Amino acid sequence: MNEFRMSPYVEVDGVPSYKDSEILELYRRVVAEGCAHVFRDRSITGEGAFLRMAKAQHTAIYVAYVRGETAGCVWLNRFQARFAQANFFTFRQFWGQDALGLGRHCLRELITMRGDDGAFILDMLVGITPADNPLAVAFALKCGWKRRGLLPFGAYDAEAGASLPAVLTTVTREDV
Tell me 120's DSSP state. Answer: B
Q: Give the CATH number of the domain where residue 139 resides.
A: 3.40.630.30
CB 78 within 8 A of CB 125: no
CA 48, CA 175: separation in Å to the nearest integer? 36
- Specify the number of domains making up the chain: 1
Residue 1 binned pLDDT confidence (cut-offs 50, 70, 90): low
pLDDT at 4: 98
CA–CA gap between residue 34 and residue 18 (Å, rounded): 24
Domain extent at residue 84: 4-175
Q: Is 36's pLDDT higher than 90?
A: no
Angle between helix 97-111 and helix 134-143 axes, rounded to 10 deg: 60
High-pLDDT (> 70) share of the chain, %: 99
Mean pLDDT of 75-97: 96
pTM score: 0.93
